A and B are shown apart, each in its own frame.
Chain A
Amino acid sequence: MAAVLGVSALYHDAAAALVVDGRVAAAMQEERFSRQKNDPGLPLRAARACLARAGLGPGDLDAVVFYENPYAKLGRVLRWQLRSFPRSFRQFPKALGAQLGSKLWALDRLAEGLGVERARVTFGEHHRSHAASAFFTSPFDDAAVLTVDGVGEEATTAIWRGRGRSLEPLARLDFPHSIGLFYGALTAYLGFEVNEGEYKVMGLAAFGEPSFGAEFEKILRVGGDGSFELEPSYFAYDEDSEVGFSPALERLLGPRRPYGRPWALEGDAGGGRDAGDRRYADVAASLQAATERALLALAREARRRTGSDALCLAGGVALNAVANARLLREAGFARLFVHPAAGDAGGALGAAVEVALGLGDPRPAPLASASLGLEPDLGETRALALELGLEPRRADDPSALAAELVARGRVVAFCAGRFEWGPRALGQRSLLALPEDPAVRERLNRVVKRREPFRPFAPAALEGEARALFEGAPNDMTPFMTAVCRVRDEARPRLGAVTHVDGTARVQTVTEASSPELFGVLGALARAGAPPVVLNTSLNGPGEPICASGPDALAFFLAHPVDDLLVGDLHFARGRA
């Protein structure tokens, strides 16, 4: 029996995860504590919070494991910098400076920061950590596993076979051929921030037509065996780490979209489909189609090699909910599971589970809930509120009150239970509203979240009711909001605020086990005779991480025009509640 702390850090999405006696005790991202979105720093606060939640100290840890091999990563960087010389000349000092000045010493910094012996700090392998996060938390005993991201040490893509307590590598593709880097470079081309704007590109794609298919065939060539190649002349990772694409890409697709320009998808000034933002929507649609084509080929190859009926997915690309839905429909698998923190954060959990299994611990139970963070401290929240002159009211039944407020058309900031693991708000740190009226979406997009008008919101529905509203729901992904489902035609009038322009929604199906607090809200709506569905979006402002603590939620409430805030049983109302 062992206590193992997994850590991912030093690129983006830093996180810590604690596995105790084969049980996932806690898993948290550093951004929730530092309040810096996608914080890449060493996650010492998250690590200490995981330990505190489990009632352990650093001295109780049997092992601390970093999610990737820092030496192999340095080897790849050195080799590519030399191979690309002299083009890489400008990047060389920056790349090697970061490697040798910081990343190489990750294990030492962890040992020193946590106060554990250096001998107890070890490392895993990037894609194996991803694969472990997906397979060992899945409900499957035998599955194909596909990991797809930007790049780890060398690999960008890997196929595995998971059986019981083992993961067997079957095939891999190496840098620079990478779907993650491909999607990231095109995200930059479309004027979004890399590692943050990919979700926006996915939402934008629904507004376009994949009319650049021929151009994308030149950029990304997919082989019959699931392998793929990027045409290197369109990319410039070695020369330009800001955008990652070359002038050749602009010659192929037209000029890039300026960063930060407001979007105007509805009117194109009479210029026809090729003009203005419509063209960029078409590029996004073509990018999404090319990505799905490559993922589908990979998944079919994984199916051919393993013969398994189940597929697990991890890596940043696995957060593409539109592609995931298509894989489930078309790749030949009966079931598909995506780890809720499929990006680098999840690697912390995968690495910890791998080491725990190696120490003889049992395999963790299938992940029933992503609530692996900390509960809000109500005493601290109340004290801060009183200092700020806010007088909270006590709610006898916070879930019932939230349901009543939502049913009255109010936008409710809801903070209850342990915060979520991964990038999705799943009802512990959420904004809740009625799902019917598209005007609610407009209000949230333009006034509260201040984000692009084309971005959709997601519904959360009781699992038992989801089938009647969404095609293909529930499935293994819907508790964690990692796949879209088509909204049934007859349900669309009731789900206007959460149905995307292509008729889909990234639905969350809710059970008492997956999200007890949100289950309470939806149950109260059902008891009141209302449909047990709400609009559920993350409790954060533009550019901010999702709230973690009660004071975070209070700060959000003070700064953003929502109607109510519930932190546990503390109710704050704006205007007449």
Chain B
Amino acid sequence: MSRAPGPLARLAGRLRTLRELFAYFARRERFFFLPLLAVLLLAALLLALTGGLGYVAPFVYAIF
């Protein structure tokens, strides 16, 4: 059986995701997105702290 990862493992996981994300955009030569992404990630942090989105509309997959 596995246990839930501790805070350090969770942080390492999130950093891995960020690394994969930036590597993806770098590979696709979409460097111009990176500053925007950095700002948006900061906004996402604020969103997470304020409770996030409570409602998702049906055509979100077109925009998500």
Contacts and interface: CB of A to CB of B under 8 A. Distances in A.
Interface of A: 11-12, 40, 57-59, 69, 71-75, 77-81, 88, 91, 94-105, 107-108, 111-112, 114-119, 150-151, 175-176, 181, 184-185, 188, 193-195, 237-238, 240-244
Interface string B39-64: 01101100110001100111111111
Contacts of B41: 100
Given A71-B20, A108-B14, A238 B63 contact: yes
A107 B62 CA distance: 21
A402 B2 CA distance: 43
Contacts of A108: 10, 13-14, 17
Contacts of B63: 77, 80-81, 88, 91, 94-95, 237-238, 241
Contact of B2 (A58, A150, A185): A58
A114 B2 contact: yes
Contact of A237 (B4, B12, B40, B62): B62
Interface of B: 1-5, 9-10, 12-14, 16-17, 20-21, 24-25, 28, 30, 33, 36-37, 40-41, 43-44, 47-48, 52-53, 56-64
Contacts of B5: 111-112, 115, 117-118
A393 B10 CA distance: 51
Nearest to A58: B2
A95 B56 CA distance: 9
Contacts of A103: 64
Given A12-B61, A94-B53, 15 more contacts: A11-B61, A59-B1, A72-B24, A75-B24, A94-B57, A96-B44, A97-B53, A101-B48, A108-B14, A118-B17, A188-B58, A193-B58, A195-B58, A241-B58, A243-B58
A12 B62 CA distance: 13
Contacts, number: 137
Contact of A240 (B20, B56, B59): B59
B52 A40 contact: no
B9 to A, nearest CB: 7
A78 B33 contact: yes
27 contacts: A58-B1, A71-B24, A72-B24, A73-B64, A75-B28, A75-B33, A78-B36, A80-B63, A94-B57, A97-B47, A98-B60, A101-B47, A102-B52, A102-B53, A104-B21, A104-B44, A108-B13, A115-B3, A117-B9, A118-B9, A195-B58, A238-B62, A241-B57, A241-B59, A241-B62, A243-B59, A244-B62
Interface residues of A: mostly helix, strand, loop or mixed? Answer: helix
B13 A111 contact: yes
B24 to A, nearest CB: 4
A94 B4 CA distance: 30
B4 A112 contact: yes
A103 B41 CA distance: 12
B2 A95 contact: no
A98 B58 contact: no
Given A75-B24, A101-B47, A108-B13, A151 B4 contact: no
B25 to A, nearest CB: 7
Given A57-B1, A58-B2, A97-B53, A194 B10 contact: no
